[in-house]
Amino acid sequence: MALQLGLALPPPGSRHVRRALHDQLRAAILDGRLAPGLALPPSRTLAQDLGLSRTTVVTVYDLLLSEGYVVARTGAGTFVADTGSKAQAGAAAGAPPPSGVRLNPALLAPGGARAPTPPPEVAVNFRLGLPDTSGFPFDVWGRLYIRALRAFARTQPGYREPAGRSALRAAVAGHVSFTRAVACRAEDIIITAGAQQAFDLLARVLVTPDRPVVAIEDPGYASARGAFLAAGARLHPVPVDGEGLVVDALPPDAAVVYVTPSHQFPLGVPLSPRRRQALLAYAAVRGAVIVEDDYDGEFRYGGRPLDALQTLDGGVRVFYVGTFSKSLFPALRLGFIAVPAWARDHVLRAKQVADWHAPVVEQDALAAFMAEGHLARHVRRMRAVYDDRRTALLGALAAHCGDLLDPVPAVAGLHLATRFRRPLDADAVVARALAAGIGVESLANYALRPTLGGPVSGDGLAGLVFGYGGVGVDAIAPAVSRLAAILRNAARSAG
């Protein structure tokens, strides 16, 4: 391994070579050009590359080792130590940009997307948004992936179509037609890198300087809000009640309405038929469009699902966004948009500018996975698993927390929202639960109004949210029982 570092050394034979090599390697470590953990070349290799004796290099390595700039691992080699370099210190301190440089403040605006954080190390984690992948047929996926990779290798690898692979677009169109009665053709589908990229592309296309207002549910999905904020949107939070988005509270000038009608995030209520018709009428009268996020619509546990807005609208003003993160696994990073014909060219260009196209081999593997019926079988199997967990959670809440938590009625999805029946400090409850090995989230974390200086109390946002996608049935009741004790202690402390 050659050391890619410009070293200016005296001529071989000079008595200053050893000091020059030591000083320059030490400086490179301190200023971050040689990053912590980097393996240095073997002494023999570096000596050959620099035209030096191996003794000189060994002596320099030993000196750096004694000073703590490198570490030696038996049988592995010599590695750069973590010394708190200038580069690390600058990053940790959040150094400002150089003079004259400006960054987009909307990317860090309050209420926008939160950076993903690893789940806390707790015994029972009711974290939202994560499916159970233990039952996923990875052996089948691996076989189809290898087949797709071999087929790709036989072609002329290069850039592909921004809309996505034709086989996958056809499979997606058939899937949403069968599962959600969404009427669309393969040419209406654009494959994205998950739902998050779908929001980003639509924000770039739909938010304009003359019409910047985007109406969003409050509480709602922060990552979607972040995409619109980054595109220059002016967000208008709209409250949610037992029928979903309060259409009467929409502003008169919204260009875009973002909504989760099948299973409102995070409350879980569906948008009522009356509100669906009212929302479509609003969009027609106000010249607005609707972004329909159907993020976990496959997992429904009772009753006939309400028609998608895209179905009711006929694909005129509704952009239907779906993802495979919940039905398969989040790391796949594949989603899609059913795009009205009049906007297709613009969304395609935005996709091409963003990343040209989604990963090709993964698209081909997913197309085969769907065509062979594996997706449908996996969803049916996991729907039963999640239904058992939902039933167990509702039963445990009723048995242990009936006087403390009021579950919000919901018949779909992988999480359940609850409201406090007594005045409690949600953040304090969450912290105490975490200390007891239980991960749970505050409902108010998903509200936008607090970041805008608006009220939270009295808005029905005091409560907890439980994600049950990654929690086994047997773990639910004991965890809720322990949580009930924490809630009762909090209630006594609150008087």
The pTM of the full predicted model, rounded to 2 decimals, is: 0.83
CB 198 within 8 A of CB 321: yes
Q: Is residue 56 part of a domain?
A: yes
Per the prediction, the chain carries an average pLDDT of 89
Q: Which domain holds residue 219?
A: 138-373
pLDDT value at 416 more than 90: yes
Domain boundary (339, 373, 407) is at 373
Q: Is residue 265 part of a domain?
A: yes
Q: Are residues 229 and 313 in the same domain?
A: yes
| Closest by CA position to 130, among listed 403, 356, 441 | 441
Domain boundary (316, 343, 373) is at 373
pLDDT value at 102 more than 90: no
Q: Are residues 390 and 333 in the same domain?
A: no
Q: Are residues 263 and 303 in the same domain?
A: yes
According to the model, what pLDDT value does residue 401 have? Answer: 95
Q: Are residues 293 and 407 in the same domain?
A: no
According to the model, what pLDDT value does residue 457 have? Answer: 42
Q: Is residue 3 part of a domain?
A: no
Q: Are residues 267 and 161 in the same domain?
A: yes
What CATH number is associated with residue 70?
1.10.10.10
In the predicted model, what is the mean pLDDT of residues 106-114?
71
Domain boundary (373, 405, 426) is at 373
Tallying the residues shown for the chain, one arrives at: 495
Amino acid in position 128: L
According to the model, what pLDDT value does residue 85 have? Answer: 56
Residues 109, 115, 116: CA angle, nearest 5 degrees = 155
In the predicted model, what is the mean pLDDT of residues 189-196?
95
| pLDDT band at 119; cut points 50, 70, 90 | low
CB 131 within 8 A of CB 470: yes
Tokens read off for 284: 């027609």
According to the model, what pLDDT value does residue 82 have? Answer: 86
According to the model, what pLDDT value does residue 451 have? Answer: 53
Q: Is residue 111 part of a domain?
A: no
The tens digit of pLDDT for each residue in 372-406 reads 999 999 999 999 999 999 999 999 999 999 999 99
Q: Are residues 399 and 443 in the same domain?
A: yes
What's the chain look like in SS3?
A: CCCCCCCCCCCCCCCCHHHHHHHHHHHHHHCCCCCCCCECCCHHHHHHHHCCCHHHHHHHHHHHHHHCCEEEECCCEEEECCCCCHHHHHHHHCCCCCCCCCCCHHHHCCCCCCCCCCCCCCCEECCCCCCCCCCCCHHHHHHHHHHHHHHHHHCCCCCCCCCCCHHHHHHHHHHHHHHHCCCCCHHHEEEECHHHHHHHHHHHHHCECCECEEEEEECCCHHHHHHHHHCCCEEEEEEEECCEECHHHCCCCCCEEEECCCCCCCCCCCCCHHHHHHHHHHHHHHCCEEEEECCCCCCECCCCCCCCHHHHHCCCCEEEEEECCCCCCHHHCCEEEECCHHHHHHHHHHHHHHHCCCCHHHHHHHHHHHHCCHHHHHHHHHHHHHHHHHHHHHHHHHHHHCCCEEECCCCECCEEEEEECCCCCHHHHHHHHHHCCEECEEHHHHCCHHHHCCCCCCCCCCEEEEECCCCCHHHHHHHHHHHHHHHHHHHHHCC
The tens digit of pLDDT for each residue in 239-275 reads 999 999 999 999 999 999 999 999 999 999 999 999 9
Q: Are residues 388 and 479 in the same domain?
A: yes
| pLDDT band at 455; cut points 50, 70, 90 | very low
Q: Residues 6 or more apart from 264 whose CB is under 8 A from it?
A: 217, 240, 244, 245, 270, 271
What CATH number is associated with residue 304?
3.40.640.10
More confident residue, 348 or 331: 348
pLDDT value at 495 more than 70: no
According to the model, what pLDDT value does residue 32 have? Answer: 84
CA distance 389 to 468: 6
pLDDT value at 117 more than 90: no
The tens digit of pLDDT for each residue in 4-39 reads 777 888 887 788 889 999 999 999 888 888 889 899
| pLDDT band at 115; cut points 50, 70, 90 | low
According to the model, what pLDDT value does residue 244 have? Answer: 94
Burial class of residue 234 (count of CB atoms within 10 Å of its CB; 0-12, 13-18, 19+): middle
Q: Is residue 59 part of a domain?
A: yes
CB 234 within 8 A of CB 190: no
Q: Are residues 403 and 368 in the same domain?
A: no
According to the model, what pLDDT value does residue 459 have? Answer: 58
Q: Residues 6 or more apart from 268 whose CB is under 8 A from it?
A: 408, 409, 410, 412, 413, 415, 416, 417
Q: Are residues 188 and 271 in the same domain?
A: yes
The tens digit of pLDDT for each residue in 65-76 reads 999 999 998 888
pLDDT value at 303 more than 60: yes
Q: Is residue 345 part of a domain?
A: yes
Q: Are residues 203 and 313 in the same domain?
A: yes
In the predicted model, what is the mean pLDDT of residues 186-204?
96
According to the model, what pLDDT value does residue 458 have? Answer: 44
| pLDDT band at 86; cut points 50, 70, 90 | low
Distances, alpha carbon 427 to alpha carbons 15, 167, 393, 457, 464, in Å: 65, 47, 21, 14, 10
Q: Are residues 183 and 317 in the same domain?
A: yes
pLDDT value at 202 more than 50: yes
Q: Are residues 227 and 338 in the same domain?
A: yes
Q: How many domains does the chain have?
A: 3
Provide the β-strand partners of residue 236. 215
pLDDT value at 456 more than 50: no
Q: Is residue 176 part of a domain?
A: yes
Cβ burial 181-204 (10 Å sphere, 16+ → b, else e)? ebbbebebbbbbbbbbbbbbbbbb
What CATH number is associated with residue 478?
3.90.1150.10
Q: Is residue 383 part of a domain?
A: yes
